[in-house]
Chains A and B, each alone.
Chain A
Amino acid sequence: QQQVKQSPQSLIVQKGGISIINCAYENTAFDYFPWYQQFPGKGPALLIAIRPDVSEKKEGRFTISFNKSAKQFSLHIMDSQPGDSATYFCAASMYNDMRFGAGTRLTVKP
């Protein structure tokens, strides 16, 4: 059973729009929640991350919102650009053990 559930599976957004990807986790022992971005033919790369003692983290156009009581977190991409088209994975980590969601394929149309 997957410990991190991610939705939607795919997302199409117009250039300049807001992309929102949601994740939920089961295990309250997770203490680190990163988002990874993957382009075709490449390995995933860290995009942004948050710890559970913070409710929001913003880096440029990317924001993580974290709801500890609901065990949910989400990625918001503001002013989405065609270059943001990629697969996005949320993850949850307990020290060395990191579990990923199923991924969201984002397409930003020009």
Chain B
Amino acid sequence: NAGVTQTPKFQVLKTGQSMTLQCAQDMNHNSMYWYRQDPGMGLRLIYYSASEGTTDKGEVPNGYNVSRLNKREFSLRLESAAPSQTSVYFCASSETTSPGANVLTFGAGSRLTVL
């Protein structure tokens, strides 16, 4: 099983350009997440989707939009990239059947540089 697949793995953008990070999972999980990882900041939640058709803001949603295209796919869009969005982005999924049992499976990450 592939688990969680993210594309692209690397991307360089110029300030003001737009792009979409793609994420797909093949584990039939209900919930999907986007995190960004920055040195000394750990993993910060950008957006999550508890189920198909729903999305919620996390800690750092400004400058991002998301789309839960179907149960498998959850995309993250940067409409006008800024240097502060240079980061490593991780997609994750989980099968939250009950509270107190939220096991996230992460993708390998997408490294984004905004010049």
Contacts and interface: CB of A to CB of B under 8 A. Distances in A.
Interface stretch (A12-20, A41-49, A61-69): A41-49
Contacts of B44: 100
A32 B59 contact: no
Nearest to B98: A95
Interface string B93-105: 0101001111110
Interface string B55-71: 01011000000000000
Contacts of A97: 45, 48, 56, 58
Contact of B42 (A31, A93, A94, A100): A100
A102 B41 contact: yes
Contacts of A49: 103
Contacts of B41: 102
Interface residues of A, number: 27
B106 A44 contact: yes
B100 A32 contact: yes
A6 interface: yes
Given A6-B42, A95-B96, A100-B43, A43 B107 contact: yes
Nearest to A93: B102
A98 B106 CA distance: 13
Interface residues of B, number: 29
B50 interface: yes
A96 B96 contact: yes
A38 B112 CA distance: 19
Contacts of B53: none
A96 B50 contact: yes
B103 A43 contact: no
Interface in B63-115: 90, 92, 94, 96, 99-104, 106-109
Among all A-B residue pairs, the 8 with the closest Cβ atoms: A43-B106, A102-B42, A100-B43, A31-B100, A93-B102, A96-B50, A32-B100, A100-B42
14 contacts: A9-B40, A32-B99, A32-B102, A43-B90, A43-B106, A51-B100, A93-B102, A96-B102, A97-B45, A97-B58, A98-B33, A100-B44, A100-B45, A102-B42
